[in-house]
Amino acid sequence: MKNSPAHAKSVKDPIVAHMREILAALGEDPSRHGLLRTPQRVALSLRELTRGYREDVDSVINGALFEEPCNEMVLVKDIAFYSLCEHHLLPFFGKAHVAYIPGRRIIGLSKIPKIVEVFARRLQVQERLTTQIAETLAAKLMPRGVAVVLEARHMCMEMRGARSLLSPTVTSAMFGCFQKDARTRKEFLDLVKNSG
């Protein structure tokens, strides 16, 4: 096994090498049977969980922007997302609720969860993630308004530190008419509140 191509590749992978050192520093034996392939698995997992760094929003949208005379709210709610807290590299996860009121452009509905995913699959803080989603939609659509609400559970709060169980964190970013018009904002928040 030590001379296999997979082993040769993993030896050159800095994540794999460092993960072996981390396991040893934790008091474990990286060569014990249960941990033998753990460094490779961690490397693959981390690359998957941070693939958003290697994704481009324009490629994800892939031209799915359409001219359409629509002036009603478009809301995609309960978008499941998973991310990693940049402070502890522990997961946080929850639901995103994303709305916009078009100017002259709409976006393919499936692209909204994909935009959430691009930014969630990076080392993040929830506040930044919320704003990045809203700013991207505002820039690409030039809508009358954008609203994003994220509700998430943070394992860095639940598994360590405060050990505050089942305490979701809610963040929001509102631009345009969602920020300026109380009735529009209330309509959005009422729709989100009545989700599931």
Residues involved in catalysis? 85-88, 126, 154, 156
Farthest-apart Cα atoms in the chain, separation: 67
Tokens 């928040």: give the residue: 189
End-to-end CA distance of the chain: 50
Q: What b/e string do you get for 111-150 counting C-beta neighbours within 10 Å, with b at 16 or more?
A: bbbbbbbbbbbbbbebeebbbbbbebbbebbebbbbbbbb
* Residue appearing with tokens 């096994």: 1
